[in-house]
A and B are shown apart, each in its own frame.
Chain A
């Protein structure tokens, strides 16, 4: 079972790495040391050569994103770490922050050196107050040791990091909504272009990356981009963290080499499998905003292209598993409620559409459905929502529901006629 601890270095170490001394003992800050011996352009080239793709969900090549930032604009450049981890089923960034905050801090420092940033921000969701305090303490430790502060990049070359707490809004994980929130506004997405690389935080060139992406940089700079690129396959190099939850016996985070592990191995070998006598019914492999797939797709390799080929997305790696005791319509209804709640309200198709999805699925579940009429109504909604909004939240609401209807049409029709009683939930305690 190819499992690695490139990002989860604390697992290799066997304990939390929450003091600078422990982190340095585990090889911490060697990546920054190598970085500071290179020119910023060479560091950007190393990002590019590593093939690292954005781990927040979109999978955009990190090196390319960083290279989009214009140089010598005479204005500040910012690095923003997206720690708003709110995608249902995703809790990998939480573990990095709780157990290995310095690797994130080192990664942000490396990225900031590469793009010429003197102050970076970590935007962390308000619900992660416990985790924000771990970061506060780690930053204080890094400052006390001179890793941050007036001479962070060398004598007279300052760099520091600010932790910015959100206050409860999924949409602030969308990069432009995050910037709005960080600027002291309502967290509503902006029209793109301009992209944040050109006009981001305070209108300045900004690199925004997810926690996992930035935490991948120290080992890449220390062991070399070629070491990283050699793992996985050409289009999906490196390792990725998967959070496994739902009807599995051993929910948790697992770091796998992309392309070398199947979804079945992730669920059964790492996630502990299911209760005796149960079978996989549905999996949302990349968080809740991706198309759901069924048991026939379990042998898919975990990488961007292979998951795409079976009609879903790698997304954030938040793998939610439902066994055959679950009702797909009830699950879809629950997700629709999530998107209705989290829609920021800026775009009408999303604000109204997610509400309609939740209403229709809700009445179906509660035995008040209108049979095939509701199925047709659902289908007519999808195209009126998808692709018609500023940000991907609405698409993320449609994808899991439309795919569920495609895969489990008979069940949807039955529930639209008969309703769906609340199933007995899984109560087995996690074994891990």
Chain B
């Protein structure tokens, strides 16, 4: 992700904000789409494109759950574990997915394909238990077998051109 790439992304929306600081979050999200996480180089590019210091840009980025400061898998499997989902089996769903992926709880698979995480309410309690792959559609209600199919399908997909997270 180069400074020019980010500047190109920001050019059509700059006029929508009286203060360029508001461009930092859109720039971070765009930069993250490139490699799937925000490396120091990506943060530096966002800083250069928005005109703020890298330290400031990083201080903003670290506040938000869905901005990743470390490398994560090709797909982030975000399993909601908040109350409504818990009542309908989110913990069992999570455990099943972890076992299916060969993980001991949250973490990234050895092949770098999946990062499994417990997340807080994703606004789809009518579909509990539910999960989201990156920031995709809220999927549910899911039985363990559904989740296994989903993972197999993702495994068969070609690498995405950009990360939707």
Docked-complex contact A168 and B65, CB < 8 angstroms: yes
| B interface SS class | loop
Which of A86, A426, A430 is close to B126, meaning CB atoms less than 8 Å apart?
A430
Docked-complex contact B66 and A168, CB < 8 angstroms: yes
Docked-complex contact B64 and A246, CB < 8 angstroms: no
Which of A127, A181, A243 is close to B25, meaning CB atoms less than 8 Å apart?
A181
Q: Known contacts A167-B65, A183-B22, A184-B60; decide if A338 and B82 are in contact (CB<8 Å).
A: yes
Docked-complex contact B123 and A165, CB < 8 angstroms: no
Docked-complex contact B26 and A165, CB < 8 angstroms: yes
Task: Report how far A245 CA is from B138 CA in the complex, Å.
Answer: 15
Q: Cβ of B123: which chain A residues have Cβ within 8 Å of it? A: 85-86, 90-91, 93-94, 125, 127-128
Chain B interface size, as a band, is 35 or more
Docked-complex contact A246 and B87, CB < 8 angstroms: yes
Docked-complex contact A167 and B83, CB < 8 angstroms: no
Q: Render B130-160 as a binary contact track against A, CB cut-off 8 A, 1 for contact.
A: 0010011110010100000000000000000
Closest to A204 in B: B18
Q: Known contacts A251-B128, A326-B87, A331-B83; decide if A166 and B64 are in contact (CB<8 Å).
A: yes
Q: Cβ of B122: which chain A residues have Cβ within 8 Å of it? A: 127
Q: Cβ of A85: which chain B residues have Cβ within 8 Å of it? A: 123
Docked-complex contact A246 and B89, CB < 8 angstroms: no
Docked-complex contact A127 and B19, CB < 8 angstroms: no
Q: Known contacts A88-B125, A89-B125, A168-B64; decide if A183 and B89 are in contact (CB<8 Å).
A: no
Chain A nearest Cβ from B107, distance in angstroms = 18
Known: A184-B19, A425-B129. 18 other contacts (CB 8 A): A88-B84, A91-B126, A94-B123, A130-B135, A165-B26, A165-B29, A166-B64, A169-B64, A183-B21, A183-B22, A187-B63, A188-B63, A243-B125, A322-B87, A330-B86, A338-B82, A427-B143, A430-B126
Interface residues of B (CB under 8 A from A): 13, 16-26, 28-29, 59-60, 63-67, 81-84, 86-92, 120-129, 132, 135-138, 141, 143, 164
**Ranked 8 nearest A-B pairs via Cβ:** A168-B65, A184-B21, A168-B66, A245-B125, A425-B89, A167-B64, A129-B135, A245-B84
